[in-house]
Amino acid sequence: MKTAVIVFPGSNCDRDAHDALLKVTGKAPAMVWHKDGTIPDGTDFVMVPGGFSYGDYLRCGAMAGNSPVISQLKAHAERGGYVLGVCNGFQILCETGLLPGALMRNASLHFVCRPQALKVETANTAFTSAYDGRSEVIIPIAHHDGNYYADNETLDRIEGEGHVAFRYAAGQNPNGSARDIAGILSENGRVLGLMPHPERAIGGHEGGDDGLGMFESLLSAA
Amino acid sequence: MTDTTAILDHLTAEQDEAAGLEHGIKADEWDRLVTRLNRKPNLVELGIYSVMWSEHCSYKSSRRHLSKFPTKNDRVIQGPGENAGVIDIGDGQAAIFKMESHNHPSYIEPYQGAATGVGGILRDVFTMGARPIALVNALRFGSPDHPKTRSLVAGVVAGIGGYGNCVGVPTVAGETQFDEGYNGNILVNAMAVGLADQDKIFYARGATPGNPIFYVGSKTGRDGIHGATMASAEFSEGDEEKRPTVQVGDPFTEKLLIEACLELMATDAIQAIQDMGAAGLTSSSVEMADKGGIGVEMDLDKVPQREEGMTAYEIMLSESQERMLMVLKPGKVDVAKAIFDKYDLDAEVIGVTTDTGHLVLKQFGKVVCDIPVAPLADDAPNYDRPWNEPPKRAPLDIIKYPEPEDYGAVLVQLMSCPDMASKRWVWEQYDRHVMGDTIDSSQSGGDAAIVRIHETNKALAICSDCNPHYVAADPYEGGKAVVAEAYRNLSAVGAIPIAITDNLNFGNPEKPNTMGYIVKAIEGMAEACRKLDFPVVSGNVSLYNETDGVAIPPTPVVGGVGLIEDLSKTATLKGAQPGDALYVIGATEGALGASLYARVILGLKGEEAGAPPPVKLAEEVRLGGFVRSLIQSGLANAVHDVSDGGIACAAAEMAMASACGVKLMPGCQPEDNRADLGFFGEDQGRYLIAANEDQVRAWESEGFLLTELGKFGGDSIVLKTGLDENGKEFSITLSSLREAYEGWLPAYMNSVD
């Protein structure tokens, strides 16, 4: 599988994304600088990493969503390429319109970093097939703006189409997210945005290893 | 249109002694200045002298005492004197670390004060070529009842998180305590640890004449002018109005600055580098000139400026954040500019190094400052302040106080008191996991954080410690205890303790009583550093922590760093298994003086709380080695240092972290059979260990005092006050203890007065 990681000014999970992809695929991803970088031809999977692109000084992801590299990202998605946006990456994907809805400030108004129990809504996706038979995984979160919002019609639609990939485990919603949504898929199921950080749960550290399944799923899909 | 003539006249006007006083230059210092300069200074020069000779920059009250610290061992590459300390961690790599205070700014404007504290300490570390890999903070607030405390906690925590989370460096450990002694003067001490290759370490020294002086980072504004001078004076009521002297942090720019500097450092372009911290462009240029034995000439019109019409005085004294100054090697300007351009950061050549030994500054084409560098740095005052021997406290006579009736209730009260209660509300606001190398953090409540060295099987153990109650009770023994606890905390996770950074927070050194605590605490700490082979490699002194004449409790905080050679050989407090025996290693005599129990349960303050426990340093070395050998050999399931609240509190922490109950007896049986001494005594040099029978059988414990206190199992903590039928049992379920322990801080922060 050929992979790439987009790097914005203020991205800070780009190295973690690199390491996770290297560990799972055995090959280093292309690191694509937002301003003048190119997503290499033949890339199967692009990761939009977490961090504070442009300091999140305007609205999280808003400025990155208008960066030069975004047109390439959209073209990749339109070709049916896989995209995973984590945390700030999820916010950016919502800003670009690749995913519906928006991420508002956490209901607590505090940044929150903790191991988070997630309900795997479906194992029938390119991102979750390795979780088949597991109803719950624990993946760390770390964000200030993870409170997913969309209007009811949109929420009904993405739920109805099976495009909610992960929810926060019952009673453990950390940010006030609508219908406990932690991660959603695009209509073609090939773009996933989620607040928890699978790249921080690849084994051998405090984040555990439940995130590996997401990359392994992709490896078998691509 | 700027009237340059009027500005130049203003800047170059000769100053007098009264102007010196306004700048915090005292009469004797004024005489010294005029003598060294051979004339009176102009306004720019006076401003520069005032910050360079401020307590904050010159350490004029503490320098002669700081020299008592040992600063070397086999692993020290760079001790105090550079931006941060550097230690050898093997395989050609180095750990670079320092702790620094941002106390005054954080009290005035908690969010920005704390945020810029984090920014400043990060710059100290990446200035030297290190990628920052961990942040730690030590916070001390006033009494929870004080009307300002809640908002200060909220602001400081948000500020630390806001900065550290954005730059993408994990905040892995810390401490948060409360005491009325900090009501008017909180402490915010931040520590950063970085990782570098030993052949790519950058210093402030090494600049030679004839090379470009390169300014990078944010533009210079009018913020923070005279911050260093503010940090060198006492507070009084209404000082919140000094808010404009607090700088505003921009972590996004810092993140870009880290990446750009590290990228430039990978090329061979930098001759010397210094971040612009306190006293900004002044101290960074003077430090590099002084350490290189050279002069500096700068054209201030070339300094990137945020506002129009700034004067040389303002430019030189601005403490705008996220700026660096470097001396480039010949022919490297284009390489450097291209890198900073990639990150959209300002980068300008603003001057040149010279062989004159003078600091020469020009604005609007005219010289506005021409002073020799050496007197600024080397001839700063170095006082031998008079000091009084701190009074000795009588030992606590526990017999005067009744034994508690319900030990379970005492345990709950201790574990949920402000100092001991879970700080989850704090550390959940910090990103602890970015960079992917956090093996153990505040999340497990352990003795030290464990941070893997990227792409290796090694790790650094990092902790911060200070028990100000001991230091107040006996600065010498208390100073020893601070260092010894850091040594134990690192040993308890299986790390070899290597070195410390210190952050000495005290009151006004011009008062002989306060100065006495400074002197004795340093001497005690130095003694411990020597005996434990645990030298000081960097640090910071924060004096004048007083409000309306009342000093804070003496609070010398240390940040310890140790090395774990093999990540498969570590221990934490959370591995205890049902059926494991609970052992205490080290002698328990029931030292309750200055203890948590004396303060919280007996309600004793100051003098009446008695003398702190003595620290036996040779014993610490022996015990630390033994504990590390157990961990190395896999002969312990969980290890925990015994500190505040004694054995009972330490065991409760292990039980909660391991999700396994424990039944235990006190660590000693004194003549009168009081169990509080054994449960809550804070005798130093002790560790709790959870181990199974096979492990215990393999211990080579000859010569070590080991006492089996009880066994893990069940879902309650059971305190049994004595052997057999003499002992009463007090039981408290883990869930109810956890509720009290976890509940205090969120309830406090969410309540409304």
Q: Do B430 and A111 touch (CB under 8 A)?
A: yes
E-state strands within B622-691: 638-641, 662-664, 687-691
Tell me which chain A residues have a C-beta less than 8 angstroms from the C-beta of B446: none
Q: Which residue of B has its CA nearest to A33?
A: B342
- Name, in order, each residue with C-beta under 8 angstroms of A75's C-beta and a sequence gap of 6 or more: none
Q: Give pLDDT < 70 ranges for chain B.
A: 1-2, 226-245, 669-672, 752-753
Q: What is the dihedral of CA B81, B82, B83, B88, to 10 degrees?
A: -110
Q: Do B168 and A12 touch (CB under 8 A)?
A: yes
A55 touches chain B (CB under 8 A): yes
Chain A closest-CA separation from residue B166 CA (Å): 6
Tell me which chain B residues have a C-beta less than 8 angstroms from the C-beta of A52: 165-166, 168, 251-252, 255
Architecture of domain A3-221: 3-Layer(aba) Sandwich (3.40)
Q: Do B436 and A16 touch (CB under 8 A)?
A: yes
Q: What is the ipTM of this complex?
A: 0.97
Domain ranges (residues) in chain A: 3-221
Q: What would the CATH number be for the domain defined by B571-753?
A: 3.90.650.10
The pLDDT of residue B375: 85
Q: What is the C-alpha separation between B121 and B251, in angstroms, rounded?
A: 12
Q: Which of B23, B65, B102, B358 is catalytic?
A: B102
* 3-class SS of residue B715: coil
Please confirm, yes or no, whether B469 is among the known catalytic residues. no
Active-site residue list of A: 87, 197, 199
In this complex, the residue of B427, B430, B438 whose CB is nearest that of residue A206 is B438
Q: Do B434 and A144 touch (CB under 8 A)?
A: no
Tell me which chain B residues have a C-beta less than 8 angstroms from the C-beta of A205: 433, 436-439, 452
Q: Are B88 and B195 in contact (CB under 8 A)?
A: no
Chain A closest-CA separation from residue B747 CA (Å): 14
Q: Are A70 and A125 in contact (CB under 8 A)?
A: no
What Cα–Cα distance (Å) separates residue A192 from each residue in A6, A32, A103, A172? 15, 19, 14, 21
Q: Indicate the pTM of the whole model.
A: 0.96
> Degrees (nearest 5) of the Cα angle B572, B578, B583?
60
A8 touches chain B (CB under 8 A): no
The pLDDT of residue B672: 63
What Cα–Cα distance (Å) separates residue B710 from each residue in B414, B576, B695, B720? 21, 12, 16, 9
- The single-letter code of the amino acid at B454 is H
Beta carbon pairs, A and B, within 8 Å:
98
A206 touches chain B (CB under 8 A): yes
- Name, in order, each residue with C-beta under 8 angstroms of A160's C-beta and a sequence gap of 6 or more: none
| DSSP-assigned states of every residue in B124-175 | HHHTTTPEEEEEEEEEEE--TTSTTHHHHHHHHHHHHHHHHHHHT--EEEEE
Q: Do B440 and A206 touch (CB under 8 A)?
A: yes
Q: How far is residue B574 CA from its own chain's centroid?
A: 26
In this complex, the residue of A13, A33, A56 whose CB is nearest that of residue B434 is A13
CA proximity to A10, closest of B190, B121, B165, B113: B165
Please give the DSSP secondary-structure letter assigned to residue B223: T
H/E run at residue B328: strand B323-328
* 3-class SS of residue B25: coil
Ramachandran region, residue B435 (left: φ > 0; alpha: ψ -120 to 50; beta: rest): left
E-state strands within B489-532: 496-505
A44 touches chain B (CB under 8 A): no
A51 touches chain B (CB under 8 A): yes
Chain A closest-CA separation from residue B438 CA (Å): 6
Interval B627-670: pLDDT, tens: 999 999 999 999 999 999 999 999 999 999 999 999 999 987 65
A15 touches chain B (CB under 8 A): yes
In this complex, the residue of A12, A50, A197 whose CB is nearest that of residue B167 is A12
- Render the burial of B94-105: b for 16+ CB within 10 Å, e for the rest: bbbbbbbbbbbb
Q: What is the C-alpha separation between A87 and B433, in angstroms, rounded?
A: 13
Tell me which chain A residues have a C-beta less than 8 angstroms from the C-beta of B174: none
In this complex, the residue of A51, A54, A140 whose CB is nearest that of residue B433 is A140
Show which residues on chain B lie within 8 Å of chain A, measured between beta carbons. Answer: 158, 161-162, 165-168, 250-253, 255-256, 342-344, 427-441, 443-444, 452, 567
Q: Do A142 and B431 touch (CB under 8 A)?
A: yes
Q: Are B340 and B215 in contact (CB under 8 A)?
A: no
In this complex, the residue of B167, B343, B433 whose CB is nearest that of residue A9 is B343
DSSP percent split of chain A into helix, strand, coil, nearest 5? 30, 25, 45
Bridge partners of A146?
none
Mean pLDDT value across residues A120-146:
96
Domain ranges (residues) in chain B: 4-47, 571-753
Ramachandran region, residue B548 (left: φ > 0; alpha: ψ -120 to 50; beta: rest): left
